[in-house]
């Protein structure tokens, strides 16, 4: 199951505290995302994806600035320029979308990444690298869900709600990629201090 609301609240409070003293532009952007909870970085990535009209997975400065504004990130132009230049290593005037997201994702140990991937592989029954409703059938049991028990929601509605946790609020497609899953749990991971606690939480949540 996705990260708990308690983790999200703790993360948002910590991120806001750190923001008041942080000066590095990339760290500030990361903290602004984390202040929105575990889906913050995922939401920003979807905003940029929607803007990448030609699907070349690069952004110029204008697109970059517009993406930040559309997502509601507070950043002045000088800070945005400094950030863009850090990512535009070859001075081409473009930044690589995947490299940008990787740098923005909170750092995680290999042990954490591995347990996240174990959970993803368990859910991705068809092995096609995307989690869909079909994958969840037989893996995620809805019978104990209160809204299923009282007849309010169907099994499919519960599956969709579950996928929504990892999906973006801006572009819900009912599918969760490996990247989205990792971005989501990188957010959860940021609120958990020790590897051991994070790994135990993941193993319990996904019965690994």
User: Where are the extended beta strands (E) located within 16-96?
Assistant: 58-60, 94-96
pLDDT of residue 199: 93
Q: Which residues contact 81 (CB under 8 A, 6 or more apart)?
A: 61
For the segment 72-127, what is each residue's pLDDT rounded down to a tens digit?
887 888 888 988 988 888 888 988 877 787 788 888 999 999 999 999 999 998 89
- Given a contact cutoff of 8 angstroms between Cβ atoms, the answer to whether 134 and 96 are in contact is no
Cα separations in angstroms, 137 against 39, 70, 143, 144: 24, 36, 12, 14
125 backbone dihedrals φ, ψ, rounded to 5°: -60, -35
Tokens found for residue 200: 């135990």
Among 190, 189, 184, which residue's Cα sits nearest to residue 46?
184
pLDDT of residue 208: 85
- Given a contact cutoff of 8 angstroms between Cβ atoms, the answer to whether 186 and 107 are in contact is no
pLDDT of residue 119: 92
Q: What CA–CA distance (Å, rounded) separates 194 from 208?
A: 19
What sign does the CA torsion over 107, 25, 5, 166 have?
negative
Tokens found for residue 173: 């497609």
Q: Which residues contact 205 (CB under 8 A, 6 or more apart)?
A: 1, 119
Other Cβ atoms closer than 10 A to 99: 14
pLDDT of residue 55: 74
Matching residue, tokens 């104990």: 144
Domains of the chain as residue ranges with CATH? 5-104 (1.10.238.10), 110-206 (1.10.238.10)
Ranges under pLDDT 50 in the chain:
1, 3
What does pTM read for this prediction?
Answer: 0.68
pLDDT of residue 114: 96
- Given a contact cutoff of 8 angstroms between Cβ atoms, the answer to whether 26 and 150 are in contact is no
Among 2, 67, 74, 64, which residue's Cα sits nearest to residue 31?
74
Specify the long-range contacts of residues 175-179, CB closer than 8 Å, at least 24 apart.
175/130, 175/131, 175/132, 176/130, 176/131, 176/132, 177/129, 177/130, 178/117, 178/120, 178/129, 178/130, 179/45, 179/101
Q: What is the Rg, in whole angstroms, of the alpha carbon atoms belonging to the chain?
A: 18
């Amino acid at each position: 199951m996705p990260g708990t609301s308690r983790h999200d609240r703790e993360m948002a409070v910590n991120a806001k505290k750190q923001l008041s003293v942080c000066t590095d532009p990339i760290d500030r952007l990361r903290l602004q995302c984390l202040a929105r909870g575990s889906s913050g970085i995922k939401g920003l990535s979807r905003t940029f994806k929607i803007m990448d009209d030609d699907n070349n997975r690069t952004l110029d400065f204008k697109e970059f600035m517009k993406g930040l504004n559309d997502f509601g990130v507070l950043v002045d132009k000088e800070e945005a320029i400094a950030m863009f230049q850090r990512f535009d290593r070859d001075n081409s005037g473009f930044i690589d979308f995947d490299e940008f997201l990787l740098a923005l994702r909170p750092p995680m140990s290999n042990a954490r990444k591995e347990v996240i991937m174990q959970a993803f592989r368990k859910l991705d029954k068809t092995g096609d690298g995307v989690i869909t409703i079909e994958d969840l059938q037989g893996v995620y049991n809805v019978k104990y869900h209160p809204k299923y028990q009282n007849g309010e929601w169907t099994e499919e509605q519960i599956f969709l709600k579950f996928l929504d946790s990892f999906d973006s609020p801006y572009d819900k497609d009912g599918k969760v990629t490996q990247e989205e899953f990792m971005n989501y749990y990188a957010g959860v991971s940021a609120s958990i201090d020790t590897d051991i606690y994070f790994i135990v939480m993941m193993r319990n949540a996904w019965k690994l």
